[in-house]
């Protein structure tokens, strides 16, 4: 007598609205994890007695891993599906967080930061493309809005949360990573339960060959966005790499909470701005971004020169409005322009540009700070951002003419 084979029940998949919310939360977790080490850099320097140059290398190695992942893995989810890439990225992020927990010297810190960069690069494009896939029909612009709001919000949350934990909680170099590791476990569970939103298609192996391609029909639109992306992310790179050090060295604010607040003031303002301007025409938002990014950075330069904390805070808030407006207009534009099969690759192009702007000037600034001091380095860096902001305004006006 034969018996019928037991039926293996498929796990119940998350509904599209729940999956959309889960992916947004995972994006917050990844961006928060990426900024969490920023307030700790000063602590690591005190514990292990390394120079500003070493600090800059720690910052840079993360971006090397991230950009490498964007170039190699940016379009992979368009071919093999979103879920496999996300699961792999979450697993690698968990390994990086475990290394942070165990770190006792700069070598382990470098390894952790490098792996975190790879994991974040693989996750960001895939999470962004998944949000667009899950965009609710009744609110077709929501994915672009979330892709604009969440990165600066996550950066702000990670930096401020770490600063608070370092200042007031036990285990300053451990607790934050333990909490983030628990978040990654929850993220893995959510991804395993979400529906696959991108069907498999040939070319997965070929997609691993580093390539930055923008369809010919989109090149003019993408090129017009480059100046504002570069200006805003270059400013973000300065705040995340040297912001806490400038707060302590130039303004005498040694509190770890204040060090985290420096980043939060820029990125948190950016997130609020992106939400507040969500219904405005893109062209107007791009103009706001260029003008306020330029004005805010100029005010901050005056603050550095006069060593005025109040003026520095005001300038950072103004620049934060420009930062958020830039993120909203840039990623909302890309979300609308890209066809489904182009989303992963186009987001990879935009993020590669953003993180090159985020990292290379910050690395140069870190090296310059050793030779010329934080004060002069911050002034020169700020002047470059002011110039880039002006170019961004001109580029948008030329594009609309």
**pLDDT at site 117:** 93
- Residue 242 C-alpha from the chain's centroid: 16
- If you average pLDDT over every residue of the chain, what do you get? 84
pLDDT at 109 over 60: yes
Greatest mean pLDDT among 91-95, 213-217, 286-290, 323-327 lies in 91-95
Contact residues for 357 (Cβ-Cβ < 8 A; gap 6+): 229, 230, 231, 233, 234, 237
CATH number for the domain harbouring residue 96: 1.20.1250.20
Label residue 111 by pLDDT band (50, 70, 90): very high
pLDDT tens sequence across 234-279? 888 878 777 777 777 777 777 777 777 888 888 889 889 988 988 8
Label residue 147 by pLDDT band (50, 70, 90): confident
**pLDDT at site 348:** 73
Structural domains counted in the chain: 1
Beta carbons within 10 angstroms of residue 193's beta carbon: 15
Q: What percent of the chain stands above pLDDT 70?
A: 91
Asked whether residue 280 is assigned to any structural domain, the reply reads yes
251: number of CA atoms within 13 Å, CB side? Answer: 25
Cα(261)–Cα(164) distance, integer angstroms: 9
Question: What does the pLDDT average to over 167-182?
Answer: 90
pLDDT at 13 over 60: yes
* Domain extent at residue 63: 16-208+216-400
pLDDT tens sequence across 32-55? 999 888 778 778 888 888 776 787
pLDDT tens sequence across 329-379? 887 777 677 676 676 677 778 878 887 888 788 778 877 877 888 788 888
**pLDDT at site 361:** 81
The three-state DSSP-derived secondary structure of the chain is CCCCCCCCCCCCCCCHHHHHHHHHHHHHHHHHHHHCCHHHHHHHHHHHCCCHHHHHHHHHHHHHHHHHHHHHHCCCHHHHCHHHHHHHHHHHHHHHHHHHHHCCCHHHHHHHHHHHHHHHHHHHHHHHHHHHHCCCCCCCCHHHHHHHHHHHHHHHHHHHHHHHHHHHCCCCCCHHHHHHHHHHHHHHHHHHHCCCCCCCCCCCCHHHCCCCCCCHHHHHHHHHHHHHHHHHHHHHHHHHHHHHHHHHHCCCCCCHHHHHHHHHHHHHHHHHHHHHCCCCCHHHHHHHHHHHHHHHHHHHHHHHHHCCHHHHHHHHHHHHHHHHHHHHHHHHHHHHHCCHHHHHHHHHHHHHHHHHHHHHHHHHHHHHHHHHCHHHHHHHHHHHHHHHHHHHHHHHHHHHC
Asked whether residue 11 is assigned to any structural domain, the reply reads no
**pLDDT at site 358:** 80
Tell me the whole-structure pTM to 2 decimals: 0.78
**pLDDT at site 38:** 78
**pLDDT at site 184:** 97
**pLDDT at site 181:** 96
Max Cα separation, the chain?
91
Question: What does the pLDDT average to over 99-124?
Answer: 93
Choose between 77 and 188: higher pLDDT.
Answer: 188
* Lowest-confidence region among 29-33, 315-319, 329-333: 329-333
Label residue 176 by pLDDT band (50, 70, 90): very high
Asked whether residue 7 is assigned to any structural domain, the reply reads no
- Give yes or no for a contact between 270 and 327, defined as CB atoms under 8 angstroms apart: yes
pLDDT tens sequence across 191-212? 999 999 887 777 777 767 776 6
pLDDT tens sequence across 64-105? 898 888 888 877 888 888 999 999 999 999 999 999 999 988
Asked whether residue 60 is assigned to any structural domain, the reply reads yes
**pLDDT at site 180:** 96
């Amino acid at each position: 007598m034969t018996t019928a084979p037991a039926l293996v029940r498929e796990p119940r998949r998350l509904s599209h609205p729940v999956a959309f919310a889960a992916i947004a939360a995972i994006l917050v977790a990844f961006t928060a994890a990426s900024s969490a080490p920023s307030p700790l850099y000063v602590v690591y320097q005190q514990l292990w007695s390394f120079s500003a140059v070493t600090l800059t290398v720690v910052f840079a190695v993360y971006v090397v891993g991230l950009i490498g992942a964007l170039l190699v893995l940016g379009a992979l989810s368009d071919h093999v599906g979103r879920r496999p890439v996300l699961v792999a990225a979450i697993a690698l992020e968990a390994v990086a967080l475990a290394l942070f927990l165990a770190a006792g010297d700069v070598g382990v810190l470098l390894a952790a930061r490098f792996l975190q960069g790879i994991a974040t690069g693989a996750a960001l494009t895939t999470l962004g493309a998944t949000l667009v896939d899950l965009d609710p029909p009744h609110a077709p612009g929501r994915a672009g809005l979330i892709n604009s709001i969440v990165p600066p919000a996550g950066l702000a949350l990670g930096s401020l949360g770490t600063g608070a934990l370092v200042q007031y909680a036990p285990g300053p170099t451990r607790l934050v990573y333990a909490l983030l590791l628990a978040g990654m476990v929850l993220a893995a569970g959510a991804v395993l339960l979400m529906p696959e939103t991108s069907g498999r298609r040939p070319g997965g192996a070929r997609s691993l060959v580093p390539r930055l391609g923008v369809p010919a029909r989109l090149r003019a639109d993408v090129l017009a966005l480059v100046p504002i992306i570069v200006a805003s992310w270059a400013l973000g790179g300065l705040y995340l790499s040297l912001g806490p050090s400038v707060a302590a060295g130039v303004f005498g604010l040694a509190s770890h909470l204040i060090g985290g607040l420096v980043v939060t003031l820029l990125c948190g303002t950016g997130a609020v701005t992106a939400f507040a301007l969500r219904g405005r025409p893109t062209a107007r938002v791009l103009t706001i971004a260029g003008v306020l990014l330029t004005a805010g950075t100029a005010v901050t330069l005056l603050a550095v020169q006069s060593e005025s904390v109040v003026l520095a805070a005001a300038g950072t808030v103004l620049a934060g409005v420009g930062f958020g407006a830039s993120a909203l207009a840039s990623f909302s534009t890309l979300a609308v322009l890209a066809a489904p099969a182009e989303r992963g690759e186009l987001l990879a192009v935009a993020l590669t540009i953003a993180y090159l702007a985020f990292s290379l000037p910050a690395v140069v600034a870190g090296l310059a700070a050793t030779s010329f001091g934080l004060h002069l380095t911050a002034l020169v860096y700020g002047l470059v951002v002011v110039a880039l902001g002006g170019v961004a305004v001109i580029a948008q006006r030329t594009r609309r003419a």
